[in-house]
Structure 1
Amino acid sequence: MVSRPQKIILLKLLSLVSVVRGYAIALMIAAQLFTAAFILSPEAPLSEVLLSGNLWWLILATALSIAGGYIINNFYDQEKDLINRPRRSKLDQMLRQQTKLSGYFILNFASVLAASAVSFQAALFFSGFIFLMWYYSHRLKKIIFIGNLTSAILSVMPLFILVVYFKSFSSIIVVHACFLLLLLASRELLKDLENLTGDLVLGYKTIPVVYGVRWAKIIGILLIALTFVPSMVLILYYDIHAMRYYFYMTMAILPYGALLLWRARERRDYLILHALLRLGIIVGVFSIVLLNPERLIYGWF
């Protein structure tokens, strides 16, 4: 039998996981590991890449800073979440605002400290990353177009630090980044459509608020259509091995998603589309392994 104090502790732990979006942090860690092993260091033994102390310091700095970013975003979005997500908002409120702010500063300090174990430049990068996440939550997310673009860029910045660390910049990375940015921008637009009620009440200048739902859908469909460009470039001009099947799948499914978006009427419709798009991103992260699946068997030493 679980006692009342134990229930409270459990609820607060669940609240913490909800606030910092534990699943999103886990996905970013997987994305960084796969990117490092299969894109940025394709020739180095896997054991050498995955046992690199500096890589794990960067991953730790990323996880801590993202957790802090979600906390400050939750702090500023408390009123909006009460309108758009009342059930999850009640769980999030199990943690006091003062506790959240204390955790935010501790996580950010620990993130910069972890990055400084790699280099001074890494510490500067994460300091800038942390500041940009705060400024996005405080100001930029309320500005039309700028908020969507900033959120998409913030989502890929932790991968950029790996490009700098491994000194492995190539055109295929740019094309992959374009594809991911378009997917993330589509996701941000879906989030704006989901949160329309709260944005209207609190005066956020999002695309659906300023231009209306119809134009927001048109822009969303355009973003989905643009994902075909980097997909075709990767398939036709780069040797991406079995990962091409992921892009074949996305090109087959995304037009159906665009149709569903056009027909969407209720918040539930946007939530379903958001979940499908998130699933596509998750599958894409794990599909990085398909760039060289034999590496998992023969590439360790």
Structure 2
Amino acid sequence: MSTFFKIIRWPNVLLTILTQLVIVYGLLIPYGVDPALNWWQLLLLISATGLLTASGNIINDIYDVAIDQVNKPEKLLVTKSISESSAYNLYFVLTVLAVICGFVLSNSLNKPILSSIFIGVAFVLYLYASSLKAMLLIGNLVISLLVALVILITGIFELFPSITAETQIGYKFLMERLLEFGLMAFLINLVREWVKDCEDVNGDKAGDRNTLAIALGRSRAAKFIAFFIIGILILLGWYVYEYIYLNDIATYYFVFLIMGPLLFVMIKLWSAKSQKEFHILSTVLKVVLLFGILSIGIFRINYYLN
């Protein structure tokens, strides 16, 4: 059981589930939306995305065996704690269960076309692990888009089936907010992927992969990422000034829990050299991503304060 939770990367699965719950109960319901999904349909949506996250982590570990033997041999699971064939079987079962959940959910809404989202995501996750991850920038962009999709897919299933002429304007406003949070998640995860590439540069070279850290060299890649973070900080600063600076709670939250840690990572990237240093920065960025997701709950805070 311990191996199961490790290979599915349970914190990542939990973050996926938490993201969807925060959107529903932190944004949509406080705004006055009558969600399209009842409790069991929401459970199906959460199950489908959570299972896809888990299966994606498994297939990623299967294709990363040679690389993980170099980067983190102490954390190697496939071939060490679980056989490759057993890992494949687990990946297949979780993927099928995810697609079934998505199919049942979509048909219960009389929108069978929506089930193609889950099939498409499962296909892309396999492509990412088997080939896209080895391509310069492509793999980073794809996985970051999938992270953003977790946010958008919740809005699609909760809003799209019940949209009417009366609710169209309000639902458009909510989808625009979700797009903003999706963009933030995309950018932060993209930075984290690049930092992880700097951390794993030795294994990626052994695995014949072409990453930003390999193409530019670890030091120059780190400086490029630092400049990229400056752009994100400017964008977030503009967003805070333009939309939320009148709300003290939201402003302090963004400045101290999102922008502050990003500034810390940006500064540290100029001097980071060792694998351990990049690992710490990657962990900080994961926490920033968590705070970014939880920031959707600020709408919930507003709901209680007003």
Give the alignment's TM-score, normalised by structure 1.
0.87
Following superposition, the deviation at residue 262 of structure 1 comes to: 1.1
Correspondent of 2:122 among 130, 140, 143 = 130
Deviation at 1:294, TM superposition (A): 5.7
Q: State how 1:257-272 maps to structure 2 within 5 Å.
A: 257-272=265-280
Matched letter for residue 54 of structure 1? Q
| CA distance in structure 2 between the partners assigned to 1:112 and 1:173 by the alignment | 24
**3-state secondary structure, aligned to 2:30:** coil
Paired AA for residue 226 in structure 1:
G
SS in 2 for 1:152: helix
Once the two structures are TM-superposed, the CA of residue 161 in structure 1 deviates from its matched residue by: 1.3
Is it true that 1:247 corresponds to 2:254 in the alignment?
yes
Partner of residue 102, structure 2: 115
Matched-pair contact (CA < 8 Å) for 1:38–1:289:
yes
Alpha-carbon distance between aligned partners in 2 of 1:136 and 1:127, rounded to the nearest angstrom: 14
C-alpha displacement of 1:95: 1.2
1:172 aligns with 2:168: no
2:59 maps to what in 1?
72
- Post-superposition offset of 1:229: 3.6
Q: Counterparts in 2 of 1:179-190, with a 5 A limit?
A: 179-190=184-195
CA distance in 2, matches of 1:152, 1:24: 13
Please identify, of 89-98 and 265-274, the stretch whose mean Cα deviation from structure 2 is larger. 89-98
Change (3 A) 1:163 1:230: farther
What 5-or-longer segments of structure 1 have no aligned partner? 1-12
CA shift, 1:81, in A, is: 0.6
CA shift for structure 1 position 17 = 1.1
Q: Is the 8 A contact 1:175 1:230 kept in 2?
A: no
- Is contact 2:62–2:87 with CA below 8 Å preserved after alignment? yes
Give me the whole-angstrom Cα distance separating, in 2, the residues matched to 1:93 and 1:231. 43
Identity among equivalent pairs (%): 24
Aligned to 2:292: 284
Answer with 245-254 or 203-212: which moved more.
245-254
Q: Determine the structure 2 residue equivalent to 1:156.
A: 148
2: CA distance between counterparts of 1:181 and 1:196?
22
Name the counterpart of 1:20.
8
**Secondary structure, counterpart of 1:117 in structure 2:** helix
1:235 aligns with 2:240: yes
Cα distance in 2 for residues equivalent to 1:98 and 1:253: 41
Counterpart of 2:86 in structure 1 is 99
Q: Are the aligned partners of 1:29 and 1:59 in contact in 2 as well (CA < 8 Å)? A: yes
Match of 1:293, SS state, is helix
1:79, distance to aligned residue in structure 2 (A):
0.7
Partners of 1:182 and 1:223 within 8 A in 2: no
> Once the 2 structures are TM-superposed, how far is the Cα of residue 156 of structure 1 from its aligned partner?
1.9
The alpha carbon displacement at 1:152 in A equals 0.7
Distance 1:107 1:261 in 2: 37
TM-score (norm 2): 0.86
Q: Which moved more, 1:284-293 or 1:78-87?
A: 284-293
Distance in 2 between residues matched to 1:40 and 1:132, nearest whole Å: 28
Structure 1 equivalent of residue 166 of structure 2: none
Find 2:197's aligned residue among 181, 192, 201: 192
Task: Note the alpha carbon deviations across 1:28-53, whole angstroms, 9 max, x for none.
Answer: 1111111122234433379x689532
Contact 1:33 1:50 in 2 (8 A): no
Deviation at 1:80, TM superposition (A): 0.5
- In structure 2, give the amino acid aligned to 1:291: F
State the shift of 1:130 in Å: 0.3
Report what 1:60 is aligned to.
47
Counterparts of 1:97 and 1:269 in 2: how far apart (Å)? 31
Q: Count residues with an aligned counterpart.
A: 285
For 1:57 and 1:183, how far apart are their aligned partners in 2? 28
Equivalence for 2:163: none
Which whole-Å CA distance do the structure 2 matches of 1:181 and 1:206 have between them? 18
Shift of 1:222: 2.1
Show CA shifts across 1:150-197 (max 9, x none): 111122222221121123444332222222211101100011011000
- CA root-mean-square deviation: 2.3
